[in-house]
Amino acid sequence: MIAPNASPALSLAPPALPVDSATVAEQVSELRVSFQLENGKLVETVVSPAGFFSFWRQGHDQPENSIKWGDKTFEPHIGLKTFWREKVVRFPCSPTNYGTTIQLLGEMNQFVRRYADLPEDWLDITCLYILMTWVYNRFTAVPYLRFLGEPGTGKTRLLQVCSSISYKGTIVSGNITGPALFRTIDLVRGTMAVDEADFKNSAEWSEIIKVLNNGYTDGTPVIRCNKNTFDPECFHVFGPKIISTRNRFEDEATETRCLTLETKEQKVSPHIPLQLPLTFDQEALALRNKLLKWRFDNFDRVIVKEEGLRDLFARSGQIGASLAAVAPDEFWLKKLIDFLQRLDEGRNEESPKGMVQRALKAMSSGAKTSAKVGEVAEMVNSERKGLGLDLLSDRKVGGILRSLSFAPKRTNQGYVIALTPP
């Protein structure tokens, strides 16, 4: 939850160089999107309704065309004008009062409900996730929000609505290359929303997966060599991501990093417009303005809270910690923990480990005292095939068995396990 007292500021930018009055160098301009000054004040890019880019400094009541600090002059990144004009990146225009955090979450709830179909138990959690994106750089690990389903099930609409009020929400789809993706994340450092529909089974998908694997925790950049100098370059890809996809990830680690809502084909609720109206952008902007003020007010007060999360699966506790940090009170915290517990139950049912455990239980119910690893894999893959999941190799199943304290032994008939672990 948000702490009542301020904690030490987190530096988001290199410290300003000291100025030597005897040898004052010529002012150097530096293009920025968001950063933190040496005195701890946040600076965010804002865009006027006319499309004019400027900075808004935390604690100030007017935008600034540029900011001088030390021997540098910071200016808004003009390269983002195209992104803003094409609605790739959404910026606020000025911080606006929001009342209380609970009132703000209520407005976000109404906005999402107005334009997208979400199960009731997902509405508040989705809003907590969006709120978390506005202070994500207070954490070292954040989860991804994923909408999983077939075309026509509303997952792209959910992505559009949620990203429109997320922190510097940036929407990309099948028209972006892998290198362009991690360069965009590195530049904007906001919430990346990826519509995967056109990526699956393409060469670019492997690059997307690398970004998703690296972007979950801070300090794991994508590294590439400069094609001209051959010097290694690091691209910052850490941050919240909203993903719309038809298929699950092959890598279980990536799977467990996602808060996954499976969308179903259903009749659109009567109150939800089939097309987003022209007023949608203005409503989203009004909420982004309030969320910017919330970021300024709460950034230094947000701290990770682990109470109540230790009883969850380790991964759920880790990804839940960032959401718990922005929960406004004990009621919201309990709502989050209850949700994560239900998520754990579902994950255990569909996880490879859970399926192996069910196969072992079924085999142990008979007279058999041992089984081939291949037999276990066959039973597991029968269940996975029925669910439309990728099949597991015998080697993968053997690794899961070892993690469950079973020790496969090599025999003439292949690897065999005792159905009762030592």
Residue 121 and residue 209 in one domain: yes
Whether 93 is covered by a domain: the verdict is no
Residue 208 and residue 112 in one domain: yes
Which residues form the domain of 158? 101-347
Residue 174 and residue 77 in one domain: no
Residue 360 and residue 343 in one domain: no
Residue at which a domain ends, from 347, 370, 386: 347
Whether 164 is covered by a domain: the verdict is yes
* CA torsion, ordered 398, 400, 403, 408, to nearest 10 deg: -20
**What confidence category does residue 209 fall into, taking pLDDT thresholds of 50, 70 and 90?**
confident
Residue 269 and residue 365 in one domain: no
Looking only at the bridges linking them, the beta strands covering 192-195 and 170-172 are parallel
**Distance of alpha carbon 57 from alpha carbon 115, whole angstroms:** 32
CATH number of the domain within which 246 lies = 3.40.50.300
Whether 260 is covered by a domain: the verdict is yes
Residue 150's alpha-carbon distances to 118, 153, 196, 264, 266, in angstroms, are 16, 6, 12, 8, 12
Residue at which a domain ends, from 297, 325, 347: 347
> The whole model's pTM is what?
0.80
Confidence at residue 25, expressed as pLDDT on a 0 to 100 scale: 44
Residue 341 and residue 377 in one domain: no
Whether 196 is covered by a domain: the verdict is yes
Residue 78 and residue 205 in one domain: no
Q: How many domains does the chain have?
A: 3
Residue at which a domain ends, from 319, 347, 375: 347
CATH number of the domain within which 412 lies = 1.10.10.10
Confidence at residue 7, expressed as pLDDT on a 0 to 100 scale: 43
The H-or-E segment that residue 242 falls in is strand 241-245
pLDDT tens-place string over residues 368-417? 788 899 989 998 888 888 777 778 888 888 888 887 778 888 888 889 88
Residue 218's alpha-carbon distances to 80, 139, 154, 238, in angstroms, are 24, 8, 31, 5
Residue 148 and residue 70 in one domain: no
Whether 95 is covered by a domain: the verdict is no
SS3 of residue 395 by DSSP: helix
pLDDT tens-place string over residues 328-361? 999 999 999 999 988 777 666 667 877 888 888 7
pLDDT tens-place string over residues 232-280? 999 999 999 999 988 877 777 788 889 999 998 888 889 999 999 999 9
What is the C-alpha R_g of the chain?
24
Choice between 27 and 208, residue whose per-residue pLDDT is larger: 208
Q: Is the pLDDT of residue 322 over 60?
A: yes
Q: Is the pLDDT of residue 109 over 80?
A: yes
Residue 124 and residue 245 in one domain: yes
DSSP-assigned beta bridge partners for residue 171? 193
Q: With b meaning 16 or more CB within 10 Å and e meaning fewer, what string describes 179-197? A: eebbbbbbbbbbbbbbbbe
Residue 364 and residue 330 in one domain: no
Whether 7 is covered by a domain: the verdict is no
